[in-house]
Amino acid sequence: DGGITQSPKYLFRKEGQNVTLSCEQNLNHDAMYWYRQDPGQGLRLIYYSQIVNDFQKGDIAEGYSVSREKKESFPLTVTSAQKNPTAFYLCASRSGQHNEQFFGPGTRLTVL
């Protein structure tokens, strides 16, 4: 089955720690995106990548970092510089021929 997987589903972090969220897709999509969702708010774009080894900041990139070494993978690191990291994180991908983005199941990050 083609799709987007995110792991882990739930993640707990102590203050001051960096954590990495995984996003993998086997749809052969060129573009990948990371969003953050807070209760009662719309999705906000953190980073996106249109091709391997290239990525751009979204609207709320401070305190986050990404890499795109393989077409299938786009991991997101939440660093200790992110002041309010507790949120639901969503990864999405898009083929080069279409505008629609397709989402993974999400990772819920909680800072203890």
Answer yes or no whether residue 2 interacts with another protein by CB under 8 A.
Answer: no
Q: Using CB under 8 A, which of 15, 40, 53, 83 touches another protein?
A: 40
CA distance 109 to 36: 10
Instruction: Give the one residue of 48, 74, 93, 109 binding another protein; rule: CB under 8 A.
Output: 48
Q: Which of 61, 67, 71, 108 binds another protein (CB under 8 A)?
A: 108
DSSP 26-79: -S--SEEEEEEE-TTS--EEEEEEEETTEEEE-TT-TTEEE--SBTTB--EEE-
Q: Which spans of this chain sit near another protein (rule: CB under 8 A)? A: 4, 6, 31, 40-45, 48, 50, 56, 58, 90, 92, 94, 99-106, 108
